[in-house]
Structure 1
């Protein structure tokens, strides 16, 4: 059974493993620890039988939620885990006063773009050469009207 809950320091080792397996420039475990210790952040994990399957995070900056991370273990993708994480992140953010959400996504990440669009995000710009290894533009997406 999948449980979506707040990330704790005990989750950081598994979260770090997922991060390193997915991203060419991964966050360090220390970065996740520091993020968890900030008042204005929300970090969630998707867990099943003690195994972290995915995670996401948000920084609340004066009512705007910047989604910093969304990741799911490769062998668990296409099982609606990212959707469940994001739906909970959006709901929790809204409860904590977030009025609009933003994120960046690689131009080539069609699956993620389609997911974000299905959740109400729209394209609002491009960040040229935002990503490294490989270098790629980022699409800036916003969800401004909350359900």
Structure 2
């Protein structure tokens, strides 16, 4: 895709993030949650802008020497175009800039597409959080990557 801009989150992006969250996740974050992230000194967000609209994003909390991915989402109209790769690469880059040694995340057991994306970037499944997701009691797989 041409005309892609990769950048950090701005307050003016929050409505786009909420729209994507509502389209993608069964338990979406709301506007207030994203506003709090803007003032969270541990949080970093990468957004992908296409033709002046945010179409994908990812968030991570940098805690001591670990990065915990909080969310990654691609607008359904833009899936299959490699934007998830761009987001993960942006989060890895953010970690490296901040001397982070490892990264972790939780992913739904049923979300094989996301698991394959993370595996492509060196994340390995190291554990399970039973019944982690409150909407359907689905297990979360815990994945880690050393940098």
Could you state the TM-score of these two structures normalised by the residue count of structure 1?
Answer: 0.95
Q: List gaps (5 residues or longer) in structure 1.
A: none
Match of 2:23 in 1: 21
User: Do residues 49 (structure 1) and 45 (structure 2) align?
Assistant: no
Structure 2 unaligned segments of length 5 or more: list them.
Answer: none
In the alignment, which residue of structure 2 is the partner of 1:66?
68
Deviation track 1:52-86 (CA, whole Å, cap 9, x = no partner) reads: 11110000111110000000011111111011011
Q: Match for residue 11 of structure 2?
A: 9
| 2:85 is aligned with 1:83 | yes
The structural deviation recorded for 1:133 is: 2.3
Give the 3-state SS of the residue equivalent to 1:27 in structure 2. Answer: coil
The aligned runs of 1:102-117 (5 Å cut-off) are: 102-117=104-119
| SS at structure 2 position matched to 1:129 | coil
Shift of 1:132: 2.6
What pairs with 1:86-97 in structure 2 (closer than 5 Å)?
86-97=88-99
Distance 1:78 1:2 in 2: 15
Task: Report the Cα distance in structure 2 between the residues aligned to 1:36 and 1:69, rounded to whole angstroms.
Answer: 14
Question: Could you report, residue by residue, the CA deviation over 1:89-140 in whole angstroms, capped at 9, with x for unpaired residues?
Answer: 1011111121100000001111100010000000000000011322210000
Residue 20 of structure 1 and its aligned partner are, at CA, apart by 1.1
CA RMSD of aligned residues (A): 0.9
In the TM superposition, structure 1's runs of 4+ consecutive aligned residues that sit over 4 Å from their partners are none
Does residue 101 (structure 1) correspond to residue 103 (structure 2)? The answer is: yes
Tell me how many residue pairs correspond in the alignment.
145
Is 1:38 the counterpart of 2:43 in the alignment? no
User: How far apart are the structure 1 equivalents of 2:32 and 2:26?
Assistant: 17
Secondary structure of the residue aligned to 1:57 is strand
